[in-house]
Chain A
Amino acid sequence: MRFRAKMIDIGCLNHFTRVVNTISKLTKTCTLRLTTDKLYFILSDKVANGGVSMWCELSQGNFFDEFQLEGVSTEHNEIYMDLAAENLSRALKTAHNAKSLKIKLTNKHCPCITVAIELPSLSRVSRVVTHDIPVGVIPKKLWNDFKEPSVPDFDVSIYLPPLKTMKNVVERMKNLSNFLVLEANLNGEMNLKIETDLVSVTTHFKDLGNPSWGDNGSQDSTQDRDPETMMDVKVDIRKLLQFLAGQQVNPSKVICNIVNKRIVHFILLHEDVSLQYFIPAHA
């Protein structure tokens, strides 16, 4: 297995840093999957995560100037590894001014992702800062655990309101309750609701717009339904806040799909990065 890649554009570097920062805020450890075309940051829905799962996909061509990969075999030209995103995030902190960034898979005392950052310096010789991030290579027999989640058969699909507003409200609600009900309808309306012995709070968002999914099975079944009917999911507030507060990338639109009483699915699309996040309903 071999992997080496190089990034020299400062804009790409900063964008990549923002994506990694977002990932590190969503989860402590995740799986990094490398293919010849794409990088994936994956969190699969184990009980340990509270059932939350994440799938983030980047086209390597939009970030890297050089990208060479030799996977586990010619047939399966991919590498899967466990990684603490925070370590990568910390390494990238030194790169905000960098001339170039090189990433490669190495074997120091254990498998590592080595990040070498070339920094500008006054002398003719550049300064290089190197970070060795320990990773756990995942054997092929376990790759099935990290399959791309399919878009669920949702009952409602709606665009989220501005994330900042939503985050402010959810942050306050977190002081008042552990759980929140997120509900939305086909009329572009979304409500966030909490209810405890002490207080009930409902925030109403309107005119959000519902994305059209074209010729999709889920959409057909919703045609007969009254657009005013709300579909809802009750979630752990901290998980929702983690998703909202972590966003460093300013997405153009965030889509929210709700499977009534089961799961909420968020999709962020920003230029060349797509991030999906699933929060299951609280039992």
Chain B
Amino acid sequence: MPLSTQLEAGEEQYVLIASLDNARNLSNILKAIQFKDHATFLATSNGIKVTVEDSKCLQANAFIQAEIFQEFSIQEDSVMFRVNLAVLLDCLTIFGGSAVPGVTTALKMCYNGYGYPLTLFLEEGGVVTVCKINTQEPEETLDFDFCSTNVINKVILQSDSLREAFSELDMTSEVLQITMSPDKPYFRLSTFGNSGSAHCDYPKDSDMMEVFQCTQTQTNRYKMSLLKPSTKALSLSCKVSIRTDNRGFLSLQYMVRNDDGQICFIEYFCCPDEEVGEQEQ
């Protein structure tokens, strides 16, 4: 296979090698968190975590476990770098954006370590493309300090129903208010736009509600502009878990099935909107 012969000489130098028979298993999930130009890659023996942040209030993480890759080898405990995500996606989809049935692009991603570019070898139909993307100094990613022990309320919904609700949200509203409670209205999404306020309720025993674990009534508001990008992850996913902790921080976790039926996760963390966010006890 052309890709492996090209690498023979330099394979020892790479601190990270990750290969996929179908590059879409990486590009699709990265597209779902592409709301900023740059992303931080963190690779460990568990796999790769890609992080994108916005204004210190929002963080999206995509997890691609080592098992998803056909080949995954890492020479250090952890490898971290920052790349231009738009450039990376253009490279991953170099043979075209739309999926042609039966045709896949094979990918070999290699990284030499600090100061070296990220090298991609892509192959489709016997044609090979080599990309070298300059990497930057990785910046510290935010730690939202969101741990399960502090989770007050949690629901897991089937993505279908939430997709519908999100597509109908009044985008003239600056905030999205989420109410979670052991009592009515159980789970409510509210907007306050130009035409007035709108509410969308999900009863706790609805078919769409797979898990309902709410212990306390909480109402929190989040900037709509921060949550809007999450709709991409929502459209890709089959299930979504929504959790809030004692500070009103929001965690959205999306379960995504890739082309080969394997599961990957995307996670969004969002701070409550400072101006209005007050918890109702």
| A binding-site residues for B, Cβ under 8 Å | 161, 165, 168-169, 171-173, 175-176, 197-206
Asked whether B127 lies within 8 Å of A204 as measured between CB atoms, the reply is yes
Of A161, A171, A198, A203, which contacts B133 at CB under 8 A?
A198
Asked whether B95 lies within 8 Å of A165 as measured between CB atoms, the reply is yes
Contacts of B91 in A (CB 8 A): 172, 176, 199, 201
Contacts of B94 in A (CB 8 A): 168-169, 172-173, 201, 203
What's the Cα separation between A169 and B91 when bound, in Å?
A: 9
- Among residues of A, the one whose C-beta sits closest to the C-beta of B119 is A200
What's the Cα separation between A205 and B129 when bound, in Å?
A: 9
Contacts of A203 in B (CB 8 A): 94, 127-129
Asked whether B131 lies within 8 Å of A204 as measured between CB atoms, the reply is no
- Among residues of A, the one whose C-beta sits closest to the C-beta of B88 is A199
**Is the CB of B238 closer than 8 A to any CB of chain A?**
no
What's the Cα separation between A166 and B52 when bound, in Å?
A: 32
- Among residues of B, the one whose C-beta sits closest to the C-beta of A200 is B132
Question: Which DSSP category, helix, strand, loop or mixed, fits chain A's interface?
Answer: mixed
Contacts of B95 in A (CB 8 A): 165, 168-169, 172
List, sorted by A's number, 26 A–B pairs whose CB atoms are closer than 8 Å.
A165-B95, A165-B127, A168-B94, A168-B96, A169-B94, A171-B96, A172-B90, A172-B93, A175-B86, A176-B91, A199-B84, A199-B87, A199-B132, A199-B133, A200-B131, A200-B132, A201-B91, A201-B94, A202-B130, A202-B131, A203-B128, A203-B129, A204-B127, A204-B128, A204-B129, A206-B126
| B binding-site residues for A, Cβ under 8 Å | 84, 86-87, 90-91, 93-96, 125-134
Asked whether B127 lies within 8 Å of A161 as measured between CB atoms, the reply is yes
Asked whether A197 lies within 8 Å of B129 as measured between CB atoms, the reply is no
Q: 3 closest Cβ contacts across the A-B interface?
A: A168-B96, A203-B129, A201-B131
Asked whether A169 lies within 8 Å of B125 as measured between CB atoms, the reply is no
Min CB distance A161 to B, Å, is 7
Contacts of A161 in B (CB 8 A): 127
Min CB distance B119 to A, Å, is 10
- Among residues of A, the one whose C-beta sits closest to the C-beta of B91 is A201
Contacts of A165 in B (CB 8 A): 95, 125, 127
Contacts of B130 in A (CB 8 A): 201-202, 204
Contact A198/B87 with A168-B96, A172-B94 known, Cβ cut-off 8 Å: yes
What's the Cα separation between A202 and B127 when bound, in Å?
A: 11
- Among residues of A, the one whose C-beta sits closest to the C-beta of B118 is A199
What's the Cα separation between A169 and B132 when bound, in Å?
A: 16
What's the Cα separation between A176 and B93 when bound, in Å?
A: 12
